[in-house]
Amino acid sequence: MRIKRIIRIASSAVRHRLDRLIPAALPLPWWLRVLLAPLKLIPAPNEPAEVSIRLFIEELGPVFVKFGQILSTRRDIFPPVLADELQKLQDQVPPFDNQLAREIVETSLEAPVGELFLSFDETPLASASVAQVHGATLPDGSDVVVKIIRPGIRAVIQKDLEVMYLLARLIESNWEEGRRLHPVDIVADYERTILDELNLQLEAANATQLRKNWLNSGKLYVPEVYWDYTRPDVMVMERIYGISSANLAEMHASHVNMKKLAHLGVEIFFTQVFEQNFFHADMHPGNVFVDISDPENPSYIGLDCAIIGSLTESDKDYLARNLLAFFNRDYYEVARLHVESEWVPSDTDIKEFESVIRSVCEPIFQKPISEISFGRVLISLFQTARRFNMEVQPQLVLLQKTLLNIEGMGRQLYPELDLWETAAPYMERWMENRMGLTGLLRNLRDHVPGLIGHLPELPGLAAATINELKLLGQNNRRQTRLLASLQTTLEDSQQQKRSMRIGGSALLGAFILALLPAAGMAAGTELMVGSSLLGSFGIYWMFIK
């Protein structure tokens, strides 16, 4: 099955002649040039190469379409013509059969479409990689949209995931950088994410929570979900009227305050990540609309809440402290935090690591976003990671993807946006609220109910603690007596050994004296003196041992 999928991917790439997209000046290994050479004998399609790559991605299904959606926001990396073509992947994927869409709705909601809705548009409003959306009207007159999962899409996704796992395992086992990059873990995280998109009840729950978080904020609006009409493969929600965040021409024609809109996007992102810990992780232009009814005070509309991210408290603290250190250009703190968090080995030279981080990050400060390519910065940081054996953190991959989307949108909306100027004050306020007196009081307030609940147990806990301390003291005293006894025994043993050595030396001296020959006192005297010196040396050796 995997081999068939790989063959299909390769044959599709050959049929669309994607080799046309490879720059002639790009240095390629000789063996790759040999493999690509026969492709020039195949006639190229009539459409431009940019159209060919979009068609190639559409053919391969939702996993590749999602990747193309991310690429469409990176106008700093790709030419405008290619970015415009990839942007069509956001909501212009070819729809599936309208009659099949009606059958799915009727099977899921267990009623004919004519009974469920006053009207149901046969032509979809939008068609994306995993689902398509139809306009409809409920019996009470409410305008809604009906989202329907593509039939058979799960099997296609499973095949692509098998291929991705195969490639990830090959990378991890055959490339020296593989273990550090954790490609299998990254694919596993992506698997959970994309499979969650196939359950519209999960998306409905996410949308309901996100709506609750921002209700009446005037900053982000999330449409209401109609739960009576929602099932795993069908979801009905309020229809909204706004314009796509990619429709810059209409926003400029309506004199929308683009600077305020861009700053609002940064505020929403940081609030979702650090305060609410519930962030929309699929922020491409197809999912983000803008309400321009008040051009001076525009606001966002969030759609498609299938992919939602969250972080652990330790991850949030780590990221916040790192971001603040970056904003303050405290690269030593950044390096120290990496070691403290064990993202780099504990024996890393912090000063050397600091110097490398400074060389990568210092050039991006005090510049508008139009002059900053975070893609290139990420490449530089990757090279730094390889040098210091930094491990990729799979739990943050979703956040990194969201950051790329946010940058792409910010670049389109307001190229002069100074991300650091916008984000730094927010992060400082957040850290002050978390670590300062306000945060201390809030934590105390949050834990008081739990402490009060344990008050009836305090007398028993105090008595048990006292008994434990008494037993601990008794054990300590017994251990002290035992150690003293062992020390005495050891000293006695050592004294006994010294006595045996002294006795042995004396015996040796006596034995030598007994062997004195009768021939001459002078010789005997010399031998006695020598034996005496030998015995004295033996006694001295015993004591210094």
- Give residue-wise pLDDT tens across range 202-245: 999 999 999 999 999 999 999 999 999 999 999 999 999 899 99
Least Cα distance to 194 among 399, 398, 409, 403 occurs for 398
Tell me which range, 109-123, 438-452, 499-513, is most confidently predicted by mean pLDDT: 109-123
User: Two tokens at 185?
Assistant: 């873990």
HSE (CB half, 13 Å, CA atoms) of 385?
17
- Asked if pLDDT for residue 457 goes beyond 70, the answer is no
User: Two tokens at 244?
Assistant: 């796509």
CB 146 within 8 A of CB 105: yes
3-state secondary structure of 180: helix
The percentage of residues in the chain with a pLDDT greater than 70, rounded to a whole number, is: 69
Per the DSSP assignment, residues forming a β-bridge with 166 are none
3-state secondary structure of 237: strand
- Asked if pLDDT for residue 519 goes beyond 50, the answer is no
Least Cα distance to 381 among 407, 399, 363 occurs for 363
Q: What is the CA radius of gyration of the chain?
A: 37
Give the pLDDT mean for 382-406.
69
Contacts of 390 (CB under 8 A, 6+ apart): 180, 338, 343, 344, 384
Per the DSSP assignment, residues forming a β-bridge with 91 are none
Distance, CA of 361 to CA of 347 (rounded, Å): 23
Give the pLDDT mean for 311-320.
81
Per the DSSP assignment, residues forming a β-bridge with 300 are 220, 290
Tell me which range, 124-133, 472-481, 490-499, is most confidently predicted by mean pLDDT: 124-133
Mean pLDDT rounded to a whole number for the chain: 77
Distance, CA of 335 to CA of 535 (rounded, Å): 65
Least Cα distance to 245 among 414, 93, 422, 67 occurs for 414
Tell me what pLDDT residue 394 has.
Answer: 57
CB 237 within 8 A of CB 225: yes
pTM value is: 0.68
Q: What is the DSSP letter of 134?
A: E
The dihedral built from the CA positions of residue 463, 468, 473 and 477, taken in this order, carries a sign that is positive
- Asked if pLDDT for residue 510 goes beyond 70, the answer is no
Give the pLDDT mean for 414-443.
71
3-state secondary structure of 87: helix
Tell me what pLDDT residue 210 has.
Answer: 96
Runs of H (alpha helix) within 140-234 = 153-174, 178-181, 183-196, 200-214
Least Cα distance to 404 among 425, 376, 383 occurs for 376
Tell me what pLDDT residue 260 has.
Answer: 92
Give the pLDDT mean for 100-105.
94
Tell me what pLDDT residue 135 has.
Answer: 96
At residue 294, what is the residue type?
A: D
Tell me what pLDDT residue 329 has.
Answer: 82
- Which comes out higher in pLDDT, residue 330 or 384? 330
Instruction: Give Cα separations from 368 to 24, 213, 374, 410 (angstroms).
Output: 32, 31, 12, 11
Residues with a catalytic annotation lie at 282
Tell me what pLDDT residue 527 has.
Answer: 36
- Asked if pLDDT for residue 468 goes beyond 50, the answer is yes
Contacts of 312-321 with C-beta under 8 Å, sequence gap 24+, read 312/395, 315/395, 315/396, 316/273, 316/274, 316/277, 317/434, 319/273, 319/274, 319/396, 319/399, 320/274, 320/427, 320/430, 320/431, 320/434, 321/431
CB 131 within 8 A of CB 150: yes
Question: Could you tell me how far CA 508 lies from the centroid of its own chain?
Answer: 78
Least Cα distance to 238 among 306, 141, 307 occurs for 141
CB 113 within 8 A of CB 102: yes
Task: Place 413 in a pLDDT band, splitting at 50, 70 and 90.
Answer: confident
User: Two tokens at 208?
Assistant: 């309901």
HSE (CB half, 13 Å, CA atoms) of 279?
29
Distance, CA of 398 to CA of 308 (rounded, Å): 9
> Other C-beta atoms within 10 Å of 231: how many?
19
Distance, CA of 262 to CA of 267 (rounded, Å): 9
At residue 256, what is the residue type?
A: V
Give the range among 76-85, 394-403, 425-434 with minimum mean pLDDT.
394-403
Give the range among 29-33, 389-393, 538-542 with minimum mean pLDDT.
538-542
CB 412 within 8 A of CB 283: no
Give the pLDDT mean for 248-275.
91
